[in-house]
Structures are given as structure tokens and as C-alpha cells.
Amino acid sequence: MSFMDKLKGMLKGHEGTAGKGIDKGGDYVDQRTGNTYQSQVDTAQDKLRNEFGTRQDRGNPPRT
């Protein structure tokens, strides 16, 4: 069993919480880097959401 499989198992049923964590992590990196790497961070967030099944509609970003 790979590390990603273990993570997916732990997050099963908690997709909303995982999505919030992905958003908060990306926002933190953007803040610390002054949005220098914003497009790369957004790409990483999208890939994580796809991997863990926490897809977000890009037209309706979450309110913080």
C-alpha cells in the first residue's frame, strides 16, 4: 500500500475538511511568497483536489 493510498483511506468521508486544508495551505504559501508563485500553487491545489476527490468549482471560490 502506497503512502497516497493510506492518505486517501484516512480522508475518506472527510473530503470537505481536506478541501479546506488544501485551500488554507495554498493561501498560506501565496501569502508568504507575495503571490509570486500563485499559478503554480493553484495548479498544485487542483491536482490535490483531483487526487483526493475534493474538486472545487473554479467559478465559486470558497469564502474565507
Each residue of 19-52: pLDDT tens digit? Answer: 999 999 999 999 999 999 999 999 999 999 998 8
Q: What is the DSSP letter of 2?
A: -
Q: What is the pLDDT of residue 56?
A: 59
pLDDT band at 55 (very low <50, low <70, confident <90, very high): low
Of the CA atoms within 13 Å of residue 43, those in its CB half-sphere come to 4
Place of cell 473530503: 15
C-alpha cell read off for 16: 470537505
What's the pTM? 0.72
